[in-house]
Amino acid sequence: MGGTERSWTDKVLLALCLIGVLAPLCFRHVLTLDGPLHVQHAAMLGHRPFGEAPGGHGVHVALSNVWPRATDLVALPLLKMFGPAAAERGLVVSSALLLFLACRAWMRVTGGSPYLLALMPSFCFGQLLVLGFFGFLWGVAFVLLAWARWNKWRHTGGTFPMMLLLWCALAAWSHRSALLLLPLMVATQEGILFIRSRHFWKGALLLLVGAITAVGALVAVVRSVPLEPVRTRDPWRDLWQLRPLLLMDEVAERQLLLAYGAFLLCAIALAVHARWRSAWNTSDVLLPLAAVLLIGSLAVRTPMADLLYLADRAQWLALLLLALWFAVNVPRSRIALALAAFALIVHAGRMLLLERRMAPYAEYHHDLMRAVQQLPERGVVAVAHRGNDWILHNAGAQVSAVYNGMLLDKRGGLWYARGTPEAERLREVIGGRMCEGYWLRHMERDPEERFVDAVLVIGPVEAVGDSCATTYRPVLDKAMRTSFANGNVSIYQWR
């Protein structure tokens, strides 16, 4: 290809990749598992400068426990201007965009072909994004940017780059795992470089630092004990089925994931063929790092590891590093261009499926927002749930983000401040047993201690209630009345 044609092709591919990354901006609705919790946190942070804690009857949100997060930089302004749905959409798009730009920056530093940059949008959208692990995704993106800046400084020299310190600070602010990932990556790379340049002991020392970093993190996970039930999965099966790339519908996406598996096999063949007789380059450090992450995801099987989604995070990051290695080492050719087009087509199919899967939740969100307007002004509201749709697990946080009262929700609920007689008495009455229903029966018998104004039941009316909804039901039927109801929300207040 000529220089002009090559430049034109690169620009078109970059534009198509950006369109793929920004696709959620055109979705009818965007919803993730933990996204509402991020928006709720931003909402509480917005109250803190003014000292106006949501709540009532002497029971208020403990704003002293709310500290700024990196994701608040996006969530808070969007929440104030456009509402919680826009804030969550902004978090999804910013996470995917940051990851894509970080991967592109790393490829530019290592001199990779731009063709397989088309592979990156699909790795920016996966299980972790749908789970709403935005802090972790931001942390990985800033780690890659810091690592890219480190490599650029190593090759060009000059004064120490301040941007490197900025990326490191943002990575550490975004997620605590970044403090482990960056030393692991840099120590592994520099250790291998020292060993190859015959400075064996320096290289061995740096590799030891990387090993201690990884082992220390694993020991902390192994020795910790989870305080809540965890799901159990088979990491071997997840890896074989490319579950880290799964979005929301395992059955509908199966063919697309199979297509991605075939694509990755072709990319492996092209990359290995291109590198077979070539000298070692900087990108080769991605392979041992990916191997360490994969081994860790398969070997560390503890309840705490499952609670923290350790296997999911490690496998996704390992696949991302492998994809970067493919993208850097597959040479510019017509076959690579065809693979890039194939990757973009598959990604477009995944985005269409994701949009169709998320769109029905728009009505659910609108029902929640209408219910907020019917809640008692600056009141205290208990929350129960109906149904078992996993992505709606934190639906109460969507209400809490825009309600000026206090929500008592077992799922991701906020801490309320201590110090007032009402708060201390409420803590004593509930006694850490939110879903046992004793406290609600106590308030039924003693109107003087009705610190809770209403009960909000979230979920389709025909669905089965959770443990809270089940234990609350006798009191709801006997002593409370339905003050508002629609297809997805019911509000009960005292008669």
DSSP per residue, 341-399: HHHHHHHHHHHHHHHHHHTTHHHHHHHHHHHHTTSPTT-EEEEEEBS--GGGTTHHHHH
How far does Cα 28 stand from its chain's mean position?
Answer: 20
What's the CA gap between 33 and 131, in Å, rounded?
5
Quote the pLDDT of residue 222. Answer: 53
**Two structure tokens written together for 132:** 């709403």
What's the CA gap between 119 and 334, in Å, rounded?
16
Quote the pLDDT of residue 303. Answer: 75
CA proximity to 328, closest of 111, 14, 51: 111
- Residue 11, CA atoms < 13 Å, CB-side half-sphere: 6
- CB count in 10 Å sphere of residue 482: 12
Q: What pairs with residue 455 in β-bridges?
A: 382, 492
Question: Is the distance from CB of 347 to CB of 122 less than 8 angstroms?
Answer: yes
Quote the pLDDT of residue 272. Answer: 83
- What is the torsion angle, in degrees rounded to the nearest 10, for the CA atoms of residue 203, residue 205, residue 210 and residue 213? -170
What's the CA gap between 98 and 481, in Å, rounded?
48
- CB count in 10 Å sphere of residue 316: 25
What's the CA gap between 312 and 125, in Å, rounded?
13
- CB count in 10 Å sphere of residue 265: 10
Look-up: residue for tokens 């109801």? 485
User: What tens-digit pLDDT sequence spans the chain (495 residues)?
Assistant: 555 556 788 888 999 999 999 999 999 999 999 999 999 999 999 998 877 888 888 888 888 888 999 999 999 999 999 999 999 999 999 999 999 999 999 888 887 667 888 889 999 999 999 999 999 999 999 999 988 888 888 777 666 678 888 998 999 899 988 878 887 777 777 777 766 666 555 556 655 665 666 655 555 545 554 445 455 677 888 888 888 898 988 888 888 888 888 888 888 888 888 777 676 777 788 888 888 888 888 887 777 777 778 889 999 999 999 989 888 888 888 888 888 899 999 999 999 999 999 999 999 999 999 999 999 999 999 999 998 888 998 999 999 999 999 998 887 667 777 778 888 888 888 877 788 888 889 889 988 888 899 999 999 988 888 888 888 899 999 999 999 999 899 999 998
Quote the pLDDT of residue 225. Answer: 46
CA proximity to 267, closest of 316, 207, 340: 340
Q: How far is CA 476 from CA 115, 388, 408, 426, in A?
A: 61, 21, 16, 19
Which CB contacts under 8 angstroms, 24+ apart, belong to 148-153?
Answer: 148/102, 148/105, 148/106, 148/108, 148/109, 149/105, 149/109, 150/186, 151/106, 151/109, 151/110, 151/189, 151/282, 152/109
Provide the residue count of the chain: 495
CA proximity to 192, closest of 213, 211, 206: 206
Quote the pLDDT of residue 32. Answer: 96
386: which residues sit within 8 A by CB, 6+ positions away? 457, 458, 459, 460, 461, 463, 464, 465, 466, 469
What's the CA gap between 362 and 80, in Å, rounded?
19
Backbone phi, psi, residue 458, to 5°: -105, 130
pTM attached to this predicted model: 0.91
Quote the pLDDT of residue 259. Answer: 86
DSSP per residue, 444-483: HH-GGG----EEEEES-TTSPB-HHHHHHHHHHHHHEEEE
Quote the pLDDT of residue 227. Answer: 47
